[in-house]
């Protein structure tokens, strides 16, 4: 990259590349989006991508970071909702990103960088749920198993589409179990 480029230009160009890749990954899938196609859609030549990203997985991680930032901003809008509503929001948010979710799971097996991102995402999501369970008063020795069950519930709802009422019933059952454990301990 020429040294006379302003940092702002570099940030803008990187954002354009990430936006093009995001659109392609979501609409057509990771495998269908070649680096050349990403470059073309971003309005740059293919070699330019490598000034910004080491490889296609690095582009994927940048897209995932952008998606996560957008989701966290949206999450702040549902913070005042009940926990069941926030979990339903999470399922719906992940469902809209179905191709990206599938790509992360597939690429995590092949790419250490994507696997690390996936682990960090799970740590973040599980940490948020863990804090909710602790606030409910769930006994410490029950928190981690309930977090794991919560992950299974969310992943199950993603892989086995159900009606909204059924989703809510599944999530409410999970939360009622947590409340029951908290009440028994309290």
pLDDT, tens digit, for every residue of 125-162? 999 999 999 999 999 999 999 999 999 999 999 889 89
Q: What is the pTM of this model?
A: 0.85
Domain 1-53 class, CATH top level: mainly alpha
What are the sequence ranges of the domains in the chain? Answer: 1-53, 56-185
Q: Do domains 1-53 and 56-185 have the same CATH topology?
A: no
Closest CA to 28 of 109, 103, 117: 103
Model pLDDT, residue 186: 78
Q: For the CA atoms of 148, 82, 163, 128, what is the dihedral angle to 10 degrees?
A: -30
Taking a C-beta distance cutoff of 8 angstroms, is the pair 49, 14 a contact?
A: no
Chain-centroid distance, C-alpha 93: 8
The answer on pLDDT for 33 being more than 80 is yes
Nearest-5° Cα angle at 177, 174 to 179: 110
| pLDDT tens column, 43-85 | 999 999 999 999 999 999 999 999 999 998 998 899 899 999 9
CATH 1.10.357.10 for the 56-185 domain, yes or no = yes
Segment 94-122, tens digit of pLDDT: 888 888 999 999 999 999 999 999 999 99
């Amino acid at each position: 990259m020429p040294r006379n480029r302003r940092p702002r230009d570099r940030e803008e160009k990187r954002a354009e590349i990430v936006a093009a890749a995001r659109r392609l990954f979501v609409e057509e899938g990771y495998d269908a989006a070649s680096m050349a196609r990403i470059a073309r859609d971003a309005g740059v030549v293919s070699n330019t991508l490598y000034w910004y990203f080491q490889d296609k997985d690095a582009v994927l991680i940048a897209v995932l970071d952008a998606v996560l930032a957008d989701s966290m901003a949206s999450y702040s809008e549902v913070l005042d909702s009940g926990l069941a509503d926030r979990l339903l929001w999470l399922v719906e948010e992940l469902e809209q990103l179905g191709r990206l979710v599938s790509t992360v799971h597939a690429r995590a097996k092949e790419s250490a960088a994507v696997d690390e991102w996936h682990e960090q995402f799970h740590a973040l999501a599980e940490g948020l749920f863990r804090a909710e369970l602790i606030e409910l008063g769930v006994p410490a020795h029950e928190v981690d198993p309930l977090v794991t069950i919560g992950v299974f519930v969310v992943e199950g709802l993603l892989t086995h589409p159900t009606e909204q009422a059924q989703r809510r019933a599944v999530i409410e059952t999970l939360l009622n179990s947590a409340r029951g454990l908290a009440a028994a301990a309290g």
